[in-house]
Amino acid sequence: MATQAEIDTQSEEAAFREEVKQFLAENFPPELKGKSNALASVEGPTNENDAQAKWRKAMGSRGWGTPTWPKEYGGGGLSRKQARILNEEMAKVGAFNPIGGMGVMMFGPTLLEYGSEEQKKEHIPPICRGEIRWCQGYSEPNAGSDLANLQTMAEDKGDHYLVNGQKTWTSGGQWADKCFCLVRTDRSDKHKGISFLLIDMDTPGVEVRPIQMISGMSPFCETFFTDVKVPKENLVGEEGQGWTIGKRLLQHERTNLSGGGAMARLMGASMSDIAKKHLEVGEDGELADKVMRDRIADFEIRWNSFLLTARRATEESKAAGGVSDIASVLKKLGTKLGQERAEMLIEIMGYQALGWEGEGFSDAELAGTRGWLFGKATTIYGGSTEIQNNIIAKRVLGMLDHQ
Q: What residue ranges bind ligand FAD (CB under 6 A)?
A: 135-139, 144-145, 169-171, 220, 377, 380-381, 384, 386-387, 390
Write down the least CB distance from residue 328 to ligand FAD, Å: 13
**By CB under 8 A, residue 62 contacts another protein:** no
Contacts of another protein in 364-393 (CB under 8 A): 386, 388-390, 392-393
Minimum distance of another protein from residue 324's CB (angstroms): 11
Give the three-class secondary structure for 355.
coil
User: Crossing angle, helix 326-349 and helix 271-278, to 10 degrees?
Assistant: 10
The Cα 81–Cα 102 span in angstroms is 24
Asked if residues 89 and 24 have their Cβ atoms less than 8 Å apart, the reply is yes
Which sign, positive or negative, has the C-alpha torsion 76, 102, 371, 297? negative
Q: Is 31 in the site for another protein (CB under 8 A)?
A: no
| Close Cβ partners of 121 (under 8 Å, ≥ 6 residues apart) | 73
β partners of residue 210:
221
Q: How far is the CB of 144 from ligand FAD (least distance, A)?
A: 2
297 binds another protein (CB under 8 A): yes
Q: First vs last Cα of the chain: how many Å apart?
A: 63
Tell me the closest approach of the beta carbon of residue 344 to another protein, in angstroms. 14
Considering the rule CB under 8 A, would residue 278 count as an interface residue with another protein?
no
Q: Which is nearer to another protein, 87 or 390 (CB)?
A: 390
User: Exactly one of 14, 301, 354, 364 binds another protein (CB under 8 A); which one?
Assistant: 301
Pick one of ligand FAD, another protein, none as the site partner of residue 169 (Cβ within 5 to 8 A by kind).
ligand FAD
360 binds, among ligand FAD, another protein, none (CB under 5 to 8 A by kind): none
Minimum CB distance to ligand FAD smaller for 125 or for 144: 144
Report the distance separating Cα 111 and Cα 248, nearest Å.
10
Distance CA 389, CA 232 (A): 37
The whole-angstrom distance between residue 377's C-alpha and the CA centroid of its chain comes to: 13
Nearest to ligand FAD of 58, 377 (CB atom)? 377
Q: How many helices (H) and strands (E) does the chain have?
A: 13, 8
Cβ proximity to another protein, 132 vs 262, nearer residue: 262
Give how far Cα 356 sits from Cα of 220, 266, 346, 372, 397, Å: 20, 20, 13, 12, 44
- Report, as residue numbers or ranges, the catalytic residues: 253
User: Can you spell out the DSSP letters for 48-66?
Assistant: --HHHHHHHHHHHHHTTTS
- Per-residue binding letters, 307-346, with another protein (x by CB under 8 A): -xx-xx--xx--x------x--x--xx-------------
Binding site for another protein (CB under 8 A): 270, 272-273, 275-276, 281, 285-287, 293-294, 296-298, 300-302, 304-306, 308-309, 311-312, 315-316, 319, 326, 329, 332-333, 386, 388-390, 392-394, 396-402
